[in-house]
Structure 1
Amino acid sequence: MNSSHKLLNQLTVGFDSKKIKVRVTRMWDAINTNTGDVFALEMVLLDENDNHMVAIVPKNLVQRFRPQLLEGDVYILEKFRVTPRKQSWNVVHNEHNIYFTYTTLVKKLDGRMSSIKFHKFEFIYFNDLSSQCQVFTFLSDVVGRLSKVGAIYEVSKSNGTVKKRDIAITNKSGESINVTLWGTTSNQFDDETILVSDQPLVLVISSVTVKQFRGSYYLSSTTATRVYMNLNISKVADYLNCIDSTASQTIEVLHPQKTQEAIQQLMFKNRKLLSEIYKIMAGVETEELVYTSKVTILKVDFNSQLYYKACPKCQRKVTLEGSNFVCNAWNQNVEYPKLRYMLKVLASDATGSAWFVIFDQEAERIIEHKLSFVLEEFNKEGFSNEIVSSILNKITWKPFVFQIKLNNYNLELVIDLQ
């Protein structure tokens, strides 16, 4: 170790001008779940002696330091403040936190040859979870084989809707525990990997809370939660080595209970013909209404854009202002916009026809291909590409029961119910 560098366990409360050499092993936006506001950028730092500590970039400095920091890279940091850890929601067991200030200096190093590990977790055994139930001083890290996985769906909360996914992991003894992944954490799964994998999938899930429902414990994600699949660490290797590769490792696919129970009712709830919907539209100004309608897709609009760039938080379209993408809903710059399907189709029933806009997950479900694959083919030759044309034309002349959102004279498909 360079004597000019301090180790994390040598830091004391106060302003420190000494340098530390650390790897950023995890990084996340600390979000107020009630308002959706980002109030800090937080990360886990790890040094060459395997000490780790949370570092916090306060809200007023996030835009300044975010471009300088990347998860997995090694940095020299100096001129920061060391404070006592928070009273609750701590990600690692350390009595101190690092706070970035206006004077903090960040210098990136070549981390490929560094002796600092890429990951460190504080795993808790399943039989010790009860001691952490409703205790929020420190969050928990867990590891287990993925045994159940559900689809992403939306649930209503007091401040709007939020995405949710239910999964289950199993330990070496065959004990399982359910895990609820909320918000953007639900998107950290690679569904394609799950479907095509020919080996067991071991998950590392960081920074969860332990809760209890009807006598059973379950885990719930936080804004700091990260989900890793078959991560290259010894703990995961131990799991993979003890799993019988000849035994069935089938992952049970769960369906949201609410959708499963209500699907037949939804198919006939507010069922309208297109001619009836047009009459309703004539009297609608800003009111938003939802109906179901059985229609046949006649054609895909090949003149419309197949996708749009969206804010990962609210899924709304971002605009390019200068060299930055901006989410007007959040009034924030978006460093990495998400590409979302925006498929425009002409559909009809016996009484008329209408253009529908189908977004993201529903478009993917109908097309049966991820947007990344379609765009890769599209970029070769555009809509003249035989693969793209065949994929999109495959959905024509097929009947669907659509749940339709009527909003400001637009028809937006909410969910394909058939």
Structure 2
Amino acid sequence: MAESSEVNAMFDHLEDLEKSRTDWKIKVRVTRLWPTSNAESGVVKGFNLILLDDDNYHLHAYVYPDTWKAIGKDVKEGGVYIIESFQVRDTYGRLRPVSTNVDLRFLNSTKIQPVEDDIMIPLHKFEILEVGDLIEPGGQSEVDENPEYALDVIGMIEEWEPASRVPTRYGERETLRFKLSNGRVSYGVCLWGELAVTVSKEYESEKKKPVVAIIASSKLTTFRQELQIGALPSTRIYLNLNIEAVELFRKRLEAEGYKSPVVARRATITPTPATPVLMFSLRHLTEKITSLAEKSTVMVTFKISDIEDKENWWYYACQSCHEEVEKVERKYKCTVCPRSFSYGEKRFRLLVLADDNSFASTVLLTDRVVKRLEQTTVTNLMNSSKEAPISEMPSVLKNIVGKTVTVKISLSKSNVDGDSNIYRAVDLCEGSVSGKKAAEYSPITKFPSFDQSQTDDYVVCLETPTSSDSVSKKIKMEP
């Protein structure tokens, strides 16, 4: 019989969270946070967080003020935290900040523990669309003012107008206007309040011009018969961010002869206990496979004897579901979502021969496993060996041959039916990772935070998160 063992060395994947339990344990970076507040009174109804794990999967989380006070923790944007015990719900509503189908609701029993930075969790995650791809040529003539998802848009800043103060029904407010362009198509952008002030200061301090901007969580609107990109409470704007998508966008426009215009114009729940993860040998796994179910997970320890396929060591993945995408002209099309993106996410995929002295089998090491083993990313490896063809596997990956690892294997229907003996390793025990290398990083600018003291004496409005003023520095609540 297989030996039973509960594994506590690993964290749950954000991608695997579902509604049947609350006793989850995740390790994530808070990439964004903002309040949901009443535009007129300023009363904060709740807090929103975008959580990102080391598999580059992100989810939206929501916290009521009284719940945050009960948790009693200080959370900063950009920080890494272990979070335990929370509710998982189906997403609903429009203009959601990420395209995942579940979100998290923190409970009074939720535990949040700050930990040291983890270089394998990226600083940012975007589902990027080029500004020229917002509406297809000859496509729709009317804009959906309330689409299902918010947009992450990339483009060059043009026709910059300095921030100014204008009268509104809420009193005088700062406003900022500019165009976002790809050299052929441009959209107006109008920002208000604290977001306008912050972006204005950052733009003026940027030395590299023209400036490439990523407007995260935005919407497409129509103003005076002109298409514009509008901001939401969740909107953040990143200028000249040090990530591959920005560099590729800039290089492509430069290759096409892009020149920036010189003249500017003005115009409480009982949790279901987690199922113990069983430890199998490769022989036991093969013999007992028909007694297991699809998507069940098992632990296996083996030695990596060889790398089977040295050519297909990486692939372009969907930014949302991580399935392989097809490149059609300049776009990457996912048939699972289905969605199209301007950029494909590069992810590891290594087919290896596994041997545990009882049996030998073929195992597919996913991106999460290889990143943990090598402490690097596909992009970093390509950048460090630019002279070699991108299809040629970097020699550093061959260092995993001979290593003994303990992995979590997720069984497919083909495995259970006996049609395939290639097993998919979806996670790696922390004990299998040794040494540290530099991972793909982006510069940290200003990171807001909020703590439990900010929720004192506030009315909790039990409503779905709705629109509010954008906040980009610190969430403030007035007594």
TM bin, normalised by shorter chain, reads 0.5 to 0.7
Distance 2:159 2:71 in 1: 39
- Are 2:235 and 1:225 equivalent residues in the alignment? yes
Conserved in 2, the CA contact under 8 Å of 1:141 and 1:208? yes
Tell me, what secondary structure is at the counterpart of 2:238? strand
Q: Aligned ranges for residues 243-392 of structure 1 at < 5 Å?
A: 243-244=253-254, 248-249=259-260, 253=264
Q: Aligned residue for 1:162?
A: 173
Higher helix proportion (structure 1 or 2): 1
Q: Does 1:194 align with 2:204?
A: yes
Rounded Cα–Cα distance in structure 2 between residues aligned with 1:27 and 1:192: 19
Q: Secondary structure at the match of 2:109?
A: coil
For each residue in 1:218-250, what CA deviation from the matched residue of structure 2 results, as whole angstroms up to 9, or x when unmatched? 111111110111111111011222343997545
Counterpart residue identity of residue 180, structure 1 = C
Measure how far apart 1:175 and its partner are: 1.6
Match of 1:25 in 2: 31
SS in 2 for 1:224: strand
Amino acid at match of 1:164: T
Residue identity matched to 1:119: H
Report how far residue 27 of structure 1 moved: 1.3
3-state SS of paired residue (2:241): coil
Cα deviation, residue 254, structure 1: 5.3
Identify which of 142, 153, 165 aligns with 1:142.
153
RMSD: 3.5
CA contact (8 A) 2:60 2:97 kept: yes
Greater RCO between the two (CA within 8 Å, min separation 6)?
2
1:185 aligns with 2:195: yes
Change (3 A) 1:77 1:234: same
* Matched residues, number: 266
Q: Which residue of 2 aligns with 1:57?
A: 63
| SS of equivalent residue, structure 2 residue 128 | coil
The equivalent position to 2:46 in structure 1, one of 40, 44, 56, is 40
Q: Does 1:153 align with 2:160?
A: no
> Does the CA contact (< 8 Å) of 1:133 and 1:209 recur in 2?
no
Deviation of 1:204 (Å)? 0.7
Q: Distance in 1 between matches of 2:90 and 2:145?
A: 22
Match in the other structure for 2:124? 119
Q: Secondary structure in 2 aligned to 1:231? A: coil
Q: What corresponds to 2:94 in structure 1?
A: 88
**1:114–1:191 Cα change, 3 Å:** closer
Contact 2:87 2:106 survives alignment (8 Å): yes
Q: Secondary structure at 2:235's aligned position in 1?
A: coil
Normalising by the residue count of structure 1, what TM-score does the alignment of the two structures yield?
0.56
Going from structure 1 to structure 2, the CA distance change for 1:190 and 1:94 (only over 3 Å counts) comes to same
**Identity over aligned residues, as a percent?**
25
Equivalent residue letter for 1:28: W
Q: Using the alignment, how far apart are the partners of 1:9 and 1:41 within structure 2?
A: 22
CA-CA distance at 1:106 after TM superposition:
0.7
| TM-score, reference length from structure 2 | 0.49
Is contact 2:68–2:108 with CA below 8 Å preserved after alignment? no
Work out the CA distance in 2 between the residues paired with 1:222 and 1:126: 17
**Shift in CA distance, 104/192, structure 1 to aligned 2, threshold 3 Å:** closer
- Alpha-carbon distance change, 227 to 336 in structure 1, aligned in 2, over 3 angstroms: closer
Contact 2:165 2:172 survives alignment (8 Å): yes
Secondary structure of the equivalent of 1:223?
A: strand
Tell me which residue corresponds to 2:445: none
